[in-house]
Amino acid sequence: MRVIFLGQPGSGKGTQARRLAAEYGLAHISTGDMLRAAGKAETPLGQEAKRYMNRGALVPDEVMIAIIRERLQEKDCARGFILDGFPRTQPQADALAKLLRSLGKPVDHVVNLEVSVEELLCRMRGRLTCQSCGAIYHLTFDPPGVEGRCDRCRGRLIHRADDEEGTVRERLAVYSQSTQPLVEYYQARGLLRTVNGTGSIADIVKRVAEAIGAESEEA
């Protein structure tokens, strides 16, 4: 199974993509996590990416396309993958389609998680991210067992710099301009599965599973 998650920042892409990938043994490919790891390791890519991420802008297409081209050819993608945060622009979507055609691995579903802007802002105010493994929590809606520590790997939980309100608003504007057109792009290709992203995490897991015709163990 090969799935793309679309949705505004804070719509739950990361949380849902992670769960689905774990449940079905698929590779979870979060371009945001990859860039943050590169930033933490202070590689040249990470340093370049930080300059865009910190102000809520997109990293240039050619950089992102090169990262994904390499990543999709790794072994763990053989059974399928979930793309979380890629593509975010039409050139990225075109490059992905071309790449997957050449690999003989077309996308099966594009899940579009829909959430109101008020809800997104509320979620991102309380969002906590594990600095080590990228797991996502929320201060109120999905708190960790031990304050400030990841349940999975004990890594430190932080409030991402780009989750500050001003940067979030910029990211939402960038989404409307550059990524929203992909909804129509995938609709036209018969791949779009729109899912209401409001409610409990478990309810949304069920809706996503239904939308892609999979059986959820949590159902």
The smaller minimum CB distance to ligand AMP, of residues 96 and 204, is found at: 96
Round to whole Å and give the CA distance between 136 and 127.
7
Give the shortest CB-79-to-ligand AMP separation in angstroms: 23
User: 117 near 20, Cβ under 8 Å?
Assistant: no
Only one of the segments 58-66, 101-109, 115-123, 189-197 lies at the binding site for ligand AMP (rule: CB under 6 A); that segment is: 58-66
Give the shortest CB-73-to-ligand AMP separation in angstroms: 17
Give Cα separations from 71 to 37, 42, 171, 176, 183 (angstroms). Answer: 14, 19, 25, 27, 24
Q: Which of 11, 15, 16, 31 binds ligand AMP (CB under 6 A)?
A: 31
Based on the shown chain and the rule CB under 6 A, indicate whether residue 111 belongs to the binding site for ligand AMP: no
CB environment 90-100: b (16+ within 10 A), e (fewer): eebbebbeeee
Q: Which of 12, 32, 39, 144 binds ligand AMP (CB under 6 A)?
A: 32
Based on the shown chain and the rule CB under 6 A, indicate whether residue 53 belongs to the binding site for ligand AMP: yes
Round to whole Å and give the CA distance between 176 and 8.
8
First to last CA, the chain: 19
Q: What single letter denotes the amino acid at residue 20?
A: L
Q: Which of 3, 58, 72, 195 binds ligand AMP (CB under 6 A)?
A: 58
Round to whole Å and give the CA distance between 114 and 145.
28
Only one of the segments 51-59, 111-119, 186-194, 196-204 lies at the binding site for ligand AMP (rule: CB under 6 A); that segment is: 51-59
Based on the shown chain and the rule CB under 6 A, indicate whether residue 9 belongs to the binding site for ligand AMP: yes
Residue list 135-174, contact with ligand AMP (CB under 6 A): 162, 171
* Displacement of CA 17 from its chain's centroid (Å): 7
User: 163 near 124, Cβ under 8 Å?
Assistant: yes
Q: Which residues bind ligand AMP (CB under 6 A)?
A: 9, 31-32, 35, 52-53, 56-59, 64, 85-86, 88, 92, 162, 171
